Amino acid sequence: MIQKLDALFTVLKAQKSKRLVAAYANDTHTIGAISRAVDLGIIEATLVGDKEIIAGVCAQENIDINKFEIVHEPQAMPAARRAVMLINEGRGDMLMKGLVSTDKYMRAILDKEDGLMMPGAILSHVTVMENPVYHKLLVVGDVAIIPLPELKEKIAITKYLIDVAHALGNALPKVAVLAATEQVMPKMPACVDAAIISKMADRGQIKGALVEGPLALDVAIDKESAEIKKINSPVAGDADCLVFPNIESGNVFYKSNTKLAKGEQGAFVVGAKVPAVLSSRGDSIKTKLYSIALAAVSAK
């Protein structure tokens, strides 16, 4: 089982390389992260964007442009659509956002005729965190796409987190469905949804994991808190996955991990035909590199 984000690189080197297609890869951070991933031997890469700008960035950063396949498309939206088309043609295993805006990137993925969505699929965002004070990786969602997930969406999020945990080598991840309290409070929708999801897992409707909820965050990740509150569950104090009740709670946790705890993380979008890296402008090259590695290890 992968315990540290850096271990992703070792695992991927032993596998057949996946091909990443980058949409409008005209910026230094995107090209730099992809270049490192290629140098590490974990991916092959196609850059869709303005060939002259890409060449200029490569020259400025002393990157060998010949390590990439370049598809010339100088405009942002057409570049995003072209990248998606390459995936649909079987010429890529995962997608990555470059300098194109998030709304255009998502529009290309969600296009009903030429996008990457299967009927009835739900897009979500999965983050894998390495926190210096927690004893293993945490797989969490959704912190970036679904503002206020309803029960159906929370079930999808739970299953996505389980799938990513499996890709990391965890055969039976422990999933905490979070709320403000571990008590089942009928007037708190997060508690009710968590209890339903937990019971669904008990009855085999959600497979491949131990699922418990509702759990407050302290009970989910701190054994002492679980013992004090007398919560008797294999998940309590030892969670591998955290399902957040809304985007506010998830996003604050996501940013606190890096900005306050100095943790590391990678993230990508799930629910489309292939994993899609959706990096923030504030993400470091290292975060983007981990995101590429996570998408690669999750790609079919």
pLDDT in tens, 250-262: 999 999 998 999 9
When the pLDDT of each residue in the chain is averaged and rounded to a whole number, the result is 95
User: Are 237 and 221 a contacting pair, CB within 8 Å?
Assistant: yes
From start to end of 108-248, where are the E strands? 124-130, 138-141, 174-178, 210-215, 241-243
The whole-number average pLDDT for the span 158-171 is: 97
**pLDDT band at residue 86 under the 50/70/90 scheme:** very high
**pLDDT band at residue 223 under the 50/70/90 scheme:** very high
Handedness of CA 117, 110, 52, 39 (dihedral sign): negative
- Domains contained in the chain, CATH given: 7-120+272-298 (3.40.50.10950), 124-259 (3.40.718.10)
Cα separation of 57 and 51, whole Å? 10
Cα separation of 42 and 297, whole Å? 9
**pLDDT band at residue 119 under the 50/70/90 scheme:** confident
**pLDDT band at residue 300 under the 50/70/90 scheme:** confident
Write a three-state SS string for 221-290.
Answer: HCHHHHHHCCCCCCCCCCCCEEECCCHHHHHHHHHHHHHCCCCEEEEEEECECCCEECCCCCCCHHHHHH
**% of the chain at pLDDT higher than 90:** 91
**pLDDT band at residue 281 under the 50/70/90 scheme:** low
**What's the pLDDT score for residue 174?**
98
